[in-house]
Amino acid sequence: MSLLGKLFAILNIVAAAAFVVVAGMDWGQRQRWAYAVYRHDLLIDGLPVDDKEKDRDDSPRVKKLTDPLLAVILPAGTGTPVRTQEQEVERLRGLVRDKVGSADVAGTRSQKLARYLLPLAATGRERDSLIQYSSAPQDDRVAEELEKRLNEQFDGAKEAAPDGHKRSLSERKANAARVLFCLGEALHEDATTDFFASPAYKRFVNVVGLTGAARAADDQSLVLQQMTEEAVKAHEAERQLFIYEHKQIIDRTVDISDEEERQRRFLNAKEKEVADAKALVEQRKVQIGKLKDRLKELQQTTADKLADQAKAEQEVMDRLIDLRNTSKENQELERRIRAKEQELSKGR
């Protein structure tokens, strides 16, 4: 081989070595960029909803989740590591179940279930009923119903729905994000730190992703906005009812005042009549007293007259008796005279 051939051979070897080095550097950089893109996508999309969810390469996403990676994205001290959103929801279900069954947590079973369901309320009426249950005495029937409703919220991250249809991937992620977002704050017990600045919230964001967290916050804000509108409407309705009832009370008060004035005038008139009647009664009493005295005098005079009359009647009676006796004597004398006259007429 000539010197030029040898030189070209050496140059080919050097170029091949350089190519291998550059290719290795390119491959390493590509791997770093691919990992950075994967971490970026993982931050946006969060953990897979279950073991079946696949990536763009039609490979299960869960296979790329190594233990070191999970140790990075799931803050220490926030609970056991999970690989899917469904597992995180089940972990949260266990935490709530433990809180409800713990004697260290204040309240009855139905009260605690109502308190954990309260952040998940979708309407103002549902929220009001849960607030009532959270302070009402223990009711086993209510506790059973509340536990069923709470489990339905957790089951929203599962593929199979109670009515038999299969939930879509986006629906399951939305349900999981909402449950984790709403109950995460309810389970946050450190009063010294805000939930949104806590490791638990960072874990929530990493599990559901920035997209899921933003959607959950947006959905919850819409729910709260709707509740606010319902509360405003209810308040306005109550205000209108208060205005109407207040006007009715004022009208009744005015009517009562007018009636009271009429009754007062009527009472004054009657009191005057009573006063006049009392004065007349006093006059009549005086007159009656005088008449009684006069009556006594007349009764005494009548008694005296009656006594004189009785005396006169007795005298008349005595005269009549005398007259009767005299009449009898006259009749007897007359009879004797006739008898003598008959005797004389016979002697002739």
| pLDDT tens digits, one per residue of 291-343 | 999 999 998 999 889 888 889 888 888 888 888 888 888 888 888 888 888 88
Per the CB < 8 A criterion, the answer to whether 182 and 213 are in contact is no
Is the pLDDT at 250 greater than 60, yes or no? yes
pLDDT digits (tens, 9 = 90+) for 204-247: 999 999 999 999 999 999 999 998 998 899 889 999 999 999 99
The mean per-residue pLDDT over the stretch 61-67 comes to: 87
Q: Comparing C-alpha atoms, which of 51, 258, 14 is closest to residue 172?
A: 51
d(CA 237, CA 21): 78
This prediction's pTM:
0.64
Cα–Cα distance, 224 to 123 (Å, whole number): 8
Provide the phi-psi class of 52: left if phi over 0, else alpha when psi is between -120 and 50, else beta. alpha
Residue located via tokens 């006093």: 282
